[in-house]
Structure 1
Amino acid sequence: MIPISEPDLGPLERRYLLDAFDSGWISSLGPYIERSETALRAVAGARHAAVVSNGTTALHLALLALNVGPGDEVIVPATTYVATLNAVLYVGATPVIVDVKTDTWCIDPLAVEAAISDRSRAIIAVDLYGHPADYDALAVIGTRHGIAIVADAAESLGGSLSGRPVGSLADISTFSFFGNKVVTCGEGGAITTNDPEIDRKIRQLRNQGNHPDVRYYHEVLGYNYRMTNLSAAILTAQLERVSDLIASRKRVIGWYSHLLENRSDIVPQGSSSRAQASPWMFSLELAGATEPLRDTVILRMRGAGVETRPVFRALQQMPYLLGAQGIETPNATRLARCGISLPTYPGLDRSGVEHVVESLISAVDAVHQLGHA
């Protein structure tokens, strides 16, 4: 079975992990915490970086640092992993769900502008499948209305927009280092910002609200959202190897693009001319497919030894988001119906990509016949 993702862990990760283990610093203190944050600042082009336990806690801390809470609204794209939505609910704010763009699948600035109210406090832009959102347009909107921009960059480390790296494009950027991400430490996350006061708040909140200088004096309600030195050791190694990891992923993306370029019924996620996407996961639309036909493609590919996954469901389809089912997001709804992601990871070779494409084309041709039967 070709998996949807597989981490690339080598001798450097092992060496750093054993070094952290042998040092005895296995919890939330130790030299690799600072080393990983230093390395991330360099990759993200940000003045400040704080590592945390995972990408969801990073989003939660970002909204807490902005003092978002009950009575506030946070604008979010309909197409995203559910953690984006959950972070808004954690702080007691109201999510305002808007559609995504047809080409990049990222949040639509026009839809954002139309959704702004006097209760709007933040916009969370998701860099879907590695493509940076249109932060240039969002910055204009945010400045005009006095609204903060949060980048959910869980999937886009190493990308850029208008020559600026992901991690420096919004007021606050959040990252995930889950096992399938561009760099990983198993579980982990981070927040980058150029604002020293936001960084100070995040560091205090991740550490149970403890005063930075007085131990066991907790000024605010905080959380245990710290990363361990063991995880940070793996993360440090991955960040030191990030250029090679991204180059390997780009080769995989390039092979897919070349092998599928003549199929008009298989439409890859589009891109902006101003953006350099991070090669996280090659995703596409099966043009005109129904959800049952898309799911049949997924099952047939699994039968051929290829793991895939559907594009995220639109947030308003989540049953616990009461009253949201009537929200109309035609682009996000279409993607949820006919979108699919293919295996993408550094160790996937050309023959593996060719097998994935062959199984995809075979499955698509078969379901077309079923659809016309």
Structure 2
Amino acid sequence: MSFIPVNEPLLNGNEKKYLAECIDTGWISSEGPFIQRFEKEFAESVGRKYAIAVSNGTAALDAAVEALGLAPGDEVILPTFTIISCISQIVRAGLVPVLVDSDPVTWNMDVTQVEAKISPRTKAIMAVHIYGLPIDMAPLLDIARRYGLKVIEDAAEMHGQTYHGRPCGSFGDISIFSFYPNKHITTGEGGMIVTNDDHLASECRSLRNLCFQPHKRFVHERLGWNLRMTNLQAALGVAQLERLPEFVQRKRQMGALYQSGLAGVSGLQLPLASTSYAENIYWVFGVILDASVPFDAEEAMRRLGKMGIGTRPFFWSMHEQPVFQKMGLFCGERHPVSENMSRRGFYVPSGLGLTQEQQETVIDAVRTIMDS
């Protein structure tokens, strides 16, 4: 029995050709021509004026938060159910994270809870699209407009997804993407910041490049980071972006096969296939075990692992992270939907390289552990 990994990227387009071009020309650093090409083509793909390529999705979030120029003590509202990258720079910058629980059906931040979290110190909302379906952006943007709040849109998992036909990543004052190997588009590691704001774009370009100054390169007025993407990574990105519509279609076909194969399995909540504003693109195919199931996600993953099936747990909620509890953050907070998702949710092999035969093996394995 061969092991089925949780993710395997698809790199059988122009990736080798473009990488060879980098090597043949000697352009392998962050100064190469594929950087500008990738930024231009990616910006066009999401309907944005500017795109700034960076070293990874976390770097994109760090720079996006820093570029807003918020002051220590300012509050940023975000979901508790997300990856720690979303909150790291908020905490490091002395800002105050204010957490919101999840919607139990879409698994995204419960937008109906956001307005009650706003205080005079609130300055921004971070909208994080989760696993394949976007947040319901219209009411969130309305709240932001009425209270004068900035919107940071984390579209790391949303390559090719739309909200009411408009590309995800086009809604925030500043938005970000990740190109980690499990994303629809990968550069190995990498990320992108997109915006229509001239000032924010300029700030992010400076922050990613150690805040070098044009005329006094080694005289620094502020601290930045080295967040640069290499030309090699951008070459991969250009090749991957060429196939994005194909990849989205493939993911939706994979999602449909999982949906039909696991339909009717007792005790298993499947991802929502669609809403009134979007059709799921199944970045990953997640499932949640009902309370009636006598084991949790950790045990389910252990059993599937013994059968040669790779899995990953769902995110662990931010208010339950030991690192933040040690800092005295989120004391006594409860977010029951997110807590349940963290304990009883996991996802099965979902990479673009997954074959139909492998999917059918996964389906059989999940059915077996749920029947045991």
Normalised to the residue count of structure 1, the TM-score between the two structures is 0.94
Normalised to the residue count of structure 2, the TM-score between the two structures is 0.94
Quick one: which amino acid aligns to residue 302 of structure 1?
G
Aligned to 1:337: 343
Select the residue among 130, 133, 140 that pairs with 1:131: 133
Are residue 287 (structure 1) and residue 293 (structure 2) matched? no
Aligned to 2:302: 299
Cα RMSD (Å)? 1.6
SS state at 2:152 partner: strand
Q: How big is each residue's C-alpha offset from its partner over 1:68-121, in whole Å with a ceiling of 9 and x where there is no partner?
A: 241111111011111112121232211111101111111111221111111111
Q: Distance in 2 between matches of 1:24 and 1:289?
A: 59
Q: Distance in 2 between matches of 1:81 and 1:291?
A: 27
Distance 1:97-1:358 versus aligned 2 partners, 3 A rule:
same
Select the residue among 356, 360, 369 that pairs with 2:362: 356
Q: Distance in 2 between matches of 1:314 and 1:214?
A: 44
Q: Distance in 2 between matches of 1:37 and 1:334?
A: 39
SS state at 1:124 partner: strand
Q: Distance in 2 between matches of 1:213 and 1:45?
A: 32
- Shift of the alpha carbon at 1:11? 4.5
Which runs of structure 2 are paired with 1:231-310 in the superposition (5 Å)? 231-270=233-272, 271-288=274-291, 292-310=295-313
Contact 1:248 1:347 in 2 (8 A): no
Q: Distance in 1 between matches of 2:214 and 2:295?
A: 54
Which sections of structure 1, spanning at least 5 residues, go unmatched? 367-373
Q: Distance in 1 between matches of 2:10 and 2:93?
A: 35
Equivalent pairs, count: 366
Contact 1:290 1:337 in 2 (8 A): no
Which sections of structure 2, spanning at least 5 residues, go unmatched? none
Select the residue among 208, 225, 228 that pairs with 2:227: 225
- Shift of the alpha carbon at 1:289? 5.3
Percent sequence identity over aligned pairs = 39
Contact 2:6 2:310 in 1 (8 A): yes
SS state at 2:20 partner: helix
- Shift of the alpha carbon at 1:290? 6.7
Contact 1:56 1:87 in 2 (8 A): no
SS state at 2:114 partner: helix
Contact 2:289 2:296 in 1 (8 A): no
Contact 2:267 2:292 in 1 (8 A): no
